[in-house]
A = this chain, B = another copy of it.
Amino acid sequence: MSKRELIKNTPFFSELNSQAVSSLEKIIRQANYNKNDILFFAGEPAKYLFFVESGLVELIKSSPDGKEQLIRTVNFGETFAEAAMFAGEDYPVTAIVRSKSSIMSISKENFLEFVRSNPEVSLSIMGAMSKLLRHLNTLVTNLSLTSVASRLAQFLLQRSRETGSRSFELGIKKRELAFKLGTISETLSRNFKKMRATGIINVTNNTINIIDITALRDLAE
């Protein structure tokens, strides 16, 4: 796909007129990455805005003693490091590529200039930022007010909704799910065990079977 097509295909820029697309085309850069590539480390000066054209990226914050917290997973079609364009000088998180990805980037200066001459994209950006704010909001809430069991219940309900079935595959390794939920695999394992013991779900390898969805909803609060 040509760079121009890539731009037009991204919901973020889909409403731009062709002149704007042209000017964007000139300042945007595209590159391919492999699993475990690092785009930037937390603390580095923030120079670029990124945009995931295809693939998957995770934004992670880690503490000096090696503990890690997933802040956000960036799916294709989404931007990240928007905030770094308008405030602060450093990336606050580390960005790790989790699967083969095509990623576009724009330098801070070019991006700000583009926004100034195409103010209509502001609305898209503010929309994206707002979604992010909500995401972080619920993340804070989850971390401070809800238990692992509750977070797990929420995740299972979400998956059930997505697949439209009460029986589904997890789709990710349990250790990764643990990470997503802000815990470790041992704790996740024990939580699965408890849910199985109380007859709420059935777990066989990677497939989940929701038995008592009401109890699961209660758990999720």
Contact = CB atoms under 8 A, between A and B. Distances in A.
Interface residues of A, number: 43
Nearest to A136: B136
B125 A126 contact: yes
Protomer copies: 2
A55 interface: no
For the residues of A in contact with B, the DSSP-based class is helix
A69 B119 contact: no
Contacts of A69: 140-141, 144-145
B130 A93 contact: no
Interface in A114-166: 115-116, 119-120, 122-123, 125-127, 129-134, 136-141, 143-146
A120 B119 contact: yes
A171 interface: no
Interface of A: 61-64, 67, 69, 71, 82-88, 92-93, 115-116, 119-120, 122-123, 125-127, 129-134, 136-141, 143-146, 182, 221
Contacts of A125: 122, 126
B133 A126 contact: no
Given A120-B119, A122-B126, A137-B71, A87 B144 contact: no
A121 to B, nearest CB: 9
Given A120-B119, A145-B63, A136 B140 contact: yes
A66 to B, nearest CB: 10
